[in-house]
Amino acid sequence: MRWGFSLVFYYLIAIFIILLDQVTKWQIVTKMYLGESIPIIEDFLYITSHRNRGAAWGILQGQMWFFYVITSIVIIAIIYYIQKEAKGKWLLGVSLAFMLGGAIGNFIDRLLRKEVVDFIHTYIFNYNFPVFNIADSALVIGVVLLMIQMLRDERETKEKSYGENGTHHS
């Protein structure tokens, strides 16, 4: 893939995630009352109108300036890595795009609403998992893809090392 096209593709992924995240949150805010829950798959998946003024699992409640600073740094770092490190590494670019979209999606909530709108509510093996949103999902997917990319890079480095030296000696 040509580099210019790749960059556009990565940013389009991020924009799609941001739009999907914000549209779904807008639907929750305008169509449901806080605390309302709609079963999708009984005892497994619900749409639940929830708000979070903290980070994952509600930690650091009300620390908005902290989130503004950290998220700004994260967004700048992700853009830097997309620009400088993703060339020729489509999986790295896609993983960073997912993380960028997720970070910006929740950042918009914190800026405009002073809280994050969450609505995806699951019970997994009878565990009441914390309510989350599309941006959170994109962040998790991005991190998983980044870990896969890192494992691929590590394997490639080992293969080059073995190829250059014959057999590996510890």
d(CA 151, CA 155): 6
Mean pLDDT of 89-114: 96
d(CA 72, CA 23): 22
Mean pLDDT of 24-35: 98
Q: Sorting pLDDT into bands at 50, 70 and 90, what band is 89?
A: very high
Our separate counts of H helices and E strands in the chain read 4, 4
What per-residue confidence (pLDDT) applies to 97?
98
Q: Are 85 and 92 in contact (CB under 8 A)?
A: yes
Please tell me the chain's helix, strand, coil percentages from 3-state DSSP, rounded to the nearest 5.
Answer: 65, 15, 20
What per-residue confidence (pLDDT) applies to 167?
57
Is pLDDT above 80 for 55? no
> Of 131, 141, 149, 144, nearest to 17 (Cα)?
141
- Looking up tokens 């190829």 gives 163
Q: Sorting pLDDT into bands at 50, 70 and 90, what band is 36?
A: very high
Q: Sorting pLDDT into bands at 50, 70 and 90, what band is 146?
A: very high
**Catalytic center residues:** 118, 136
What per-residue confidence (pLDDT) applies to 161?
82
Q: Sorting pLDDT into bands at 50, 70 and 90, what band is 57?
A: low
